[in-house]
Amino acid sequence: MSVAVEGFKSSALLVQLDEHFKSLTPAQRKEQVAKVKGVFQFNVKNDAGTIQSWTLDLKNGEGSISVGAAKKADITIDIADQIFVDLAEGKANGQKLFMSGKIKAKGAVMLATKLDAVLKSAQTKAKL
């Protein structure tokens, strides 16, 4: 089932993240889960003011991405649609966004440090 939601630019990004995880071997997925150990809930607000939640579970099993709020999120991240895309594309620095209040995090804030790396791993990088 696709994690795409109409009207959100970051939808494509989460699809990409989802595809990336699906492309990994179970062992690699477990490796990722072991490294991150957290459930992220993203509350993404688009330009129209609609808020959509996604859950990135990198704590249980082989990890998963799903639409909707988490049953038990370790960290809840409020972020604007475009900023999420910028962050994932490496155009924005997550730390700066946190510091400047453009990203708001509740819960285990330390997990946010791992978000950058998670997103980066799924980033479409140019191939050498």
Residues 68 and 35: their CA atoms lie apart, in Å, by: 24
- Cβ burial, residue 105 (10 Å; 0-12/13-18/19+): middle
User: x/- contact string, 69-98, with another protein (CB under 8 A)?
Assistant: --------------------xxx--xx--x
Q: Which of residues 5-24 bind another protein (CB under 8 A)?
A: 6, 9, 11-12, 15-16, 19, 23-24
To the nearest whole angstrom, how small is the minimum distance from the Cβ of residue 58 to another protein?
10
101 makes contact with another protein (CB under 8 A)? no
Residues 3 and 66: their CA atoms lie apart, in Å, by: 6
In this structure, the number of other CB atoms found within 10 A of the CB of residue 102 comes to 16
The length of the chain is 128
Residues 39 and 71: their CA atoms lie apart, in Å, by: 9
To the nearest whole angstrom, how small is the minimum distance from the Cβ of residue 49 to another protein?
19
Question: Applying CB under 8 A, which residues contact another protein?
Answer: 2, 4, 6, 9, 11-12, 15-16, 19, 23-25, 27-28, 31-32, 35-36, 89-91, 94-95, 98-99, 109-110, 112-114, 116-118, 120-121, 124-128
